[in-house]
Homo-oligomer: A and B are copies of this chain.
Amino acid sequence: MRAQRLDDEQLDRIFAALSDRTRRRILLRLRSGPATVTELTALAGLSQPAVSKHCKVLEEAGLVRPERDAQRIHRIIELAPLIRAAVFVSQFEVQVDARLDRLEAHLQSGTDEE
């Protein structure tokens, strides 16, 4: 079935995008609103081209959308691929306790700026 192929390719890109900690940090940052490559570069502690590359990977996975504002380009997080990932994982009947979620989320955001 052809549709399955496309699905696989999407999940390939989504999980591959999530498999890099710099990209995960970028996504976590984008929860609190759009950011420019310059801002993300400061966060990542890498060169600007490196961050541009990461943004491109996130974009191709659909996790991020660019939006021009004059000479700045803001990256905006897109939740759809995260839902796809969550749906895949949910096939294993892994139920995450919502309270545990919030706890871990809090811990992680607390140690964000390592």
Of the stretches A9-17, A37-45, A48-56, A67-75, the one at the interface is A9-17
Annotate A60-103 by CB proximity to B: 1 below 8 A, 0 otherwise. Answer: 00000000000000000101001101111111101010101100
Contact partner of A15 (CB less than 8 A), chosen from B4, B15, B77, B87, is: B15
Q: Residues on A close to B: CB < 8 A?
A: 1, 3-4, 7-8, 11-12, 14-16, 18-21, 24, 27-28, 31, 77, 79, 82-83, 85-92, 94, 96, 98, 100-101, 104-105, 108-109, 111, 114
Is the pair A101, B92 in contact by a Cβ cutoff of 8 Å?
no
12 residue pairs A–B, Cβ–Cβ below 8 Å: A1-B114, A3-B111, A4-B108, A11-B18, A16-B16, A18-B19, A19-B19, A82-B94, A85-B89, A86-B86, A87-B105, A91-B101
